[in-house]
């Protein structure tokens, strides 16, 4: 299948950047990243600079791949990452626009690579449990009700890819932060610190320059792990409680 | 107090201000509509005028109208501040923007808000300023002024358009306020969402019927 790619090229953070057009001949069984690999091999053979993009596990669990394809983070398929997107979902002759994740808190490093270390700093602010909980306990020694376990698992599915930030017209990171706050705060080991964690992580989120949620819902729609907005409501609730009622 | 001030300055706190003032303005819509609907009674405005009389003679209405002014101001100023904050946080825009992942009104709340503000200015200019500030006519004459205003089809269209914009703003805003306040529960959220949807259709529709009805009744 013949495709026209309009890919964002930017030498470094200071460069203004521009779109460059590439014609590629792809096979429908290729993943999107494999298609880019083929293009990059051609660019290298031509002694041109290959397109920089993040990727790691290529099986949808690491959260590294991070491009916006035709206006959608991770492309048009719901509930998948870019590496899980195959070329069979495009038509012969299609023009595909590929852009980096856009948000002031995710500055472009090069081409399609953005600096997502702001997420790490939010995690360092409170995305952990302070006590040493030892090695994995016997599975049923601490009973967790099934509905709570399900909610925590829904949140824990977050791979921290940043698609929520990329999809959000406000550049907000609330789905990511809310997922971490819910995941840890709903389960027994994380409960004692749930409010202080909410406060610390939310404060860090703002320091990093992420926007403010207006409940548009694009994050939930584009999240490769289909994490629910329910977690954002919980974060709002816990943050308010942490700020207004809880001591410490 | 310090904790409350600090919370209200945090961006989630600022959103709480949007949500709380928004819900307060929603409650005002109900009061306003329940008065306006009297215009449709076939008694040449007798009941409506009696209602206006009652409103004019109650100090509680005066206090509520000051609160209402504050509510509007806070909602508008806070909305502008959040809009600017969010524009800055997004930075560069995409060349291609997906539109099927969210509703148009959710993405354009600020624009719809400006639309409502323009309508509000027009609306106050029509009735509030001449009656309360310029004292151009006494409140007993309000019914006649309303009827006369809506003999102009352009005014009827402007008011109907204003209500369309209000409906779109409410269609996202109503349920969004509850989400912001953290009120979300599988037992109640479906009701809140459904109620918000019906509210955003019915209330603006009932408001919009009034100028249309008055136009056809007297022309």
Confirm if A84 and A25 have CB atoms less than 8 A apart: no
Tens-place pLDDT, residues A53-84: 999 999 999 999 999 999 999 999 999 999 99
pLDDT at A136: 83
Q: Which domain holds residue B38?
A: 2-218
Q: Cα–Cα distance between A4 and A82 in angstroms, integer?
A: 18
* CA pseudo-torsion sign B106, A171, A62, A118: negative
The predicted model gives A39-65 an average pLDDT of 97
Please give, rounded to a whole number of angstroms, the shortest distance from the CA of B163 to a CA of chain A: 22
Q: What average pLDDT is seen over chain A?
A: 96
Q: What percent of chain A has pLDDT over 70?
A: 100
Q: Cα–Cα distance between B199 and B192 in angstroms, integer?
A: 10
Q: Which domain holds residue A106?
A: 2-110
- The candidate with the shortest Cα–Cα distance to B132, out of B186, B77, B52, B37, is B52
The predicted model gives A122-150 an average pLDDT of 90
Type and span of the H or E element at A100: strand A95-100
Buried residues in A90-106 as b, exposed as e (16+ CB within 10 A): beeeeebbbbbbbbbbb
Angle at A248 between CA A245 and CA B2, to 5 degrees: 60
Token look-up 């599988």 returns: B186
pLDDT at A248: 59
Q: Which CATH number goes with the domain that contains A71?
A: 3.10.20.30
* pLDDT at A134 > cutoff 90: no
Within 8 A of A167 by CB-CB distance, chain B residues are 98, 101
A132 compared with A168, residue with greater pLDDT: A168
- Asked whether residue A154 falls in the same domain as residue A47, the answer is no
pLDDT per residue as tens, chain B (219 positions): 788 999 999 999 999 999 999 999 999 999 999 999 999 999 999 999 999 999 999 999 999 999 999 999 999 999 999 999 999 999 999 999 999 999 999 999 999 999 999 999 999 999 999 998 999 999 999 999 999 999 999 999 999 999 999 999 999 999 999 999 999 999 999 999 999 999 999 999 999 999 999 999 987
Please give, rounded to a whole number of angstroms, the shortest distance from the CA of B165 to a CA of chain A: 17
> Which DSSP letter does residue A188 get?
G
* B109 contacts A214? CB cut-off 8 A: yes
- Asked whether residue A238 falls in the same domain as residue A135, the answer is yes
pLDDT at B65: 92
pLDDT at B219: 76
Boundary (domain end) residue, out of A47, A78, A110:
A110
* A203 contacts B94? CB cut-off 8 A: no
* B89 contacts A211? CB cut-off 8 A: yes
- Asked whether residue A146 falls in the same domain as residue A194, the answer is yes
Give me A155's structure tokens. Answer: 């949140």
Distances in whole angstroms, Cα of residue B118 to Cα of each of B76, B94, B154, B174: 12, 30, 15, 20
Nearest to A239 among B12, B179, B184 (CB): B12
Boundary (domain end) residue, out of A110, A145, A162:
A110
Q: Which residue does chain A place closest to B109, by CA atoms?
A: A214
Q: Is B184 on the interface with A (CB under 8 A)?
A: yes
| DSSP 3-state of B160 | helix
Count how many domains chain B has: 1
ipTM: 0.93
Give me B48's structure tokens. Answer: 């409506």
- The candidate with the shortest Cα–Cα distance to A109, out of A48, A39, A53, A169, is A53
Q: Which CATH number goes with the domain that contains B124?
A: 1.20.1300.10
Give me A114's structure tokens. Answer: 């953005």
Q: Which residue does chain B place closest to A219, by CA atoms?
A: B101
- Asked whether residue A85 falls in the same domain as residue A139, the answer is no
* B82 contacts A97? CB cut-off 8 A: no
* A210 contacts B94? CB cut-off 8 A: no
* pLDDT at A246 > cutoff 90: no
pLDDT at A135: 86
Q: Which CATH number goes with the domain that contains A181?
A: 1.10.1060.10
Q: Which residue does chain A place closest to B175, by CA atoms?
A: A215
Q: Cα–Cα distance between A235 and A219 in angstroms, integer?
A: 15
| DSSP 3-state of B209 | helix
Confirm if A13 and A27 have CB atoms less than 8 A apart: no
Boundary (domain end) residue, out of A110, A143, A158:
A110
Confirm if A186 and A155 have CB atoms less than 8 A apart: yes
- Asked whether residue A87 falls in the same domain as residue A123, the answer is no
């Amino acid at each position: 299948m013949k495709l026209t790619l309009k890919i964002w090229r930017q030498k470094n953070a200071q460069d203004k950047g521009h779109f460059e057009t590439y014609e590629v001949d792809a096979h429908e069984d290729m993943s999107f990243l494999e298609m880019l690999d083929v293009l990059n091999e051609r660019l290298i053979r031509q002694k041109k600079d290959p397109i920089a993009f993040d990727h790691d596990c290529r099986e949808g669990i690491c959260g590294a791949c991070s491009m916006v394809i035709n206006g959608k983070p991770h492309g048009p398929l719901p509930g998948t990452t870019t590496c899980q997107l195959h070329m069979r979902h495009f038509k012969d002759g299609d023009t595909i626009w590929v852009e980096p994740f856009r948000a002031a808190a995710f500055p472009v490093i090069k081409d399609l690579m953005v600096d997502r270390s702001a997420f790490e700093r939010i995690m360092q602010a409170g995305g952990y449990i302070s006590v040493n909980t030892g090695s994995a306990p016997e599975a049923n020694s601490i009973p967790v009700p099934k509905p709570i376990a399900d909610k925590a698992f829904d949140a824990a599915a977050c791979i921290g890819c940043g698609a929520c930030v990329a999809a959000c017209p406000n550049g907000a990171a609330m789905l990511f932060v809310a997922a971490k706050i819910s995941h840890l705060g709903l389960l027994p080991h994380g409960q004692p610190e749930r409010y202080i964690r909410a406060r610390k992580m939310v404060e860090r989120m703002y320091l990093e320059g992420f926007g403010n949620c207006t409940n548009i819902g694009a994050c939930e729609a584009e999240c490769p792990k289909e994490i629910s907005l329910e977690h954002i409501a919980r974060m709002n609730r816990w943050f308010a409680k942490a700020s207004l009622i809880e001591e410490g | 107090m310090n904790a409350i001030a600090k919370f209200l300055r945090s961006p989630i706190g600022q959103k709480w201000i949007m949500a709380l003032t928004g819900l307060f303005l929603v409650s005002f819509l109900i009061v306003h509509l329940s008065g306006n609907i009297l215009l449709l009674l076939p008694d040449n405005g007798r009941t409506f005028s009696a209602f206006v009389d009652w409103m004019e003679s109650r100090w509680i209405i005066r206090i509520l109208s000051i609160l209402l002014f504050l509510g509007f101001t806070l909602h508008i100023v806070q909305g502008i501040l959040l809009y600017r904050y969010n524009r800055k946080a997004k930075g560069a825009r995409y060349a291609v923007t997906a539109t099927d992942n969210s509703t148009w009104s959710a993405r354009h709340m600020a624009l719809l808000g400006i639309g409502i503000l323009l309508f509000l200015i027009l609306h106050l200019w029509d009735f509030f300023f001449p009656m309360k500030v310029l004292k151009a006519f006494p409140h007993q004459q309000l019914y006649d002024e309303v009827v006369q205003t809506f003999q102009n089809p352009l005014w009827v269209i402007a008011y109907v358009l204003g209500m369309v914009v209000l409906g779109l703003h409410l269609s996202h805003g109503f349920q969004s306020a509850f989400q912001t306040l953290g009120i979300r529960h599988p037992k109640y959220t479906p009701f809140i969402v459904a109620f918000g949807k019906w509210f955003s259709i019915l209330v603006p529709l009932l408001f919009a019927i009034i100028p249309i009805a008055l136009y056809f009744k007297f022309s």
